Amino acid sequence: MERKQKENGVAAMAVCYQGFDPAAYLQYNYTAPRADFGRNDSIVPWKLACLHRAFTEGDVSGELLVDIGSGPTLYQVLSGCEVFKKVLLTDFLEVNRQELRRWVQDEKGCNLDWTPYLQHVCKLEGRRPSAWTEKAAKLREVITDIVPIDVHRPHPLAPDALPSAGADCLVSCFCLESVSPDLAAFTRALGHIGGLLRPRGHLLLIGALGESYYFGGPGVKIPVVPLNEAQVCASLKESGFTLIRLEVYTLSQDMRVGVDDVTGVFFAKARKD
Ligand code: SAM
């Protein structure tokens, strides 16, 4: 009975995602004001700064970086692509994998121009903004594949997707809380993705605080597990991670643009025990 309930909750989430619209999602979350590179109190520059710092502190290293639940976005690997020789992108939905493939293969029809993102991260790295073309080429070179994932499975990726030692680092942004029916499922999913990581490997986790829903497209209301900082820390601990740092961003009124009810964003840097 209990197992059936768990399965039903997860299945209901999968149904919600059938209406996910990558173009609308990108428009809602990855254009101004949430992605205003002229303001450092805008959400996206804050996330990029957290990722830049985490990837350049010197403790995160290895061969393979895996992004869990990439969605149609690339911002989360713009710093990591300079550190890791291989980057694997993953998502549950083919429409999102298709969006990513279009960019990687430099095809027409991408729903977002990532140039300002590439330029901004070059600036964070102390490079001239025109180096963005080199960064784009680097990213295209290191992305080895874009593959299906389901974080609710004990083994979220196909058996041959990773080397047997596991990934050296995972990054995951706004995925686990927005695909889980409740806190217990969020924690279980965290444990499942932990299984993809080598011992002592790093997890860089970004997610929503206090969010109960977001729009994945016009009229596509997707439920989210509302998390607080203490729950994030407890779930990490329970799933076999040691927290290195937790940073929190609080949304100002003008960042609340009617596409969700998020109140804050957390960034966690953790290490697998
Ligand atoms: N990482 C992107 C970002 O930072 O904007 C996208 C986050 S979006 C809120 C949540 C993503 O989780 C979607 O791309 C969706 O397709 C994916 N997803 C849905 N169900 C999933 C599942 N069971 N396992 C893994 N990812 C899932």
DSSP track, 40-78? TTSHHHHHHHHHHHHHHSSS--SSEEEEET-TT--GGGT
CA pair distance 170, 258, nearest whole angstrom = 30
pLDDT tens per residue, range 191-225? 999 999 999 999 999 999 999 999 999 999 999 99
Residue-averaged pLDDT of the chain: 97
Burial of 217 (0-12, 13-18, 19+ CB in 10 A): middle
pLDDT confidence of 6, banded at 50, 70, 90? Answer: confident
Name the domain count of the chain. Answer: 1
Please indicate whether residue 98, judged by its CB atom, sits closer than 6 Å to ligand 1: no
pLDDT tens per residue, range 129-180? 899 999 999 999 999 999 999 999 999 999 999 999 999 999 999 999 999 9
Q: Which atom of ligand 1 is nearest to the CA of 75?
A: 4
Probe target for ligand 1 pocket from 91, 149, 192, 222, with the most ligand atoms within 8 Å of CB = 91
Give 186-190 contacts, CB < 8 A, sequence gap 24+.
186/225, 186/227, 186/235, 187/235, 187/238, 187/239, 188/152, 189/151, 189/152, 190/235, 190/236, 190/238, 190/239, 190/241
Domain that holds residue 14: 2-272
* Atom 13 of ligand 1: nearest residue by CA position: 71
Beta carbons of 257 and 33 less than 8 angstroms apart:
yes
Q: Which atom of ligand 1 is nearest to the CA of 189?
A: 24
Please indicate whether residue 51, judged by its CB atom, sits closer than 6 Å to ligand 1: no
DSSP state of 126: T
The alpha carbon of 104 and the centre of ligand 1 are apart by a number of angstroms equal to 19
**Does the structure show a pLDDT above 60 at 264?**
yes
260: domain CATH number is 3.40.50.150
ipTM: 0.99
Per-residue pLDDT, 5: 81
- Helix, strand, or coil (residue 261): coil
Please indicate whether residue 71, judged by its CB atom, sits closer than 6 Å to ligand 1: yes
CA pair distance 51, 32, nearest whole angstrom = 20
The overall longest dimension of the chain from CA atoms, in Å, is: 59
pLDDT tens per residue, range 94-119? 999 999 999 999 999 999 999 999 99
The alpha carbon of 67 and the centre of ligand 1 are apart by a number of angstroms equal to 11
Q: Which atom of ligand 1 is nearest to the CA of 172?
A: 1
Per-residue pLDDT, 129: 87
Beta carbons of 64 and 88 less than 8 angstroms apart:
yes
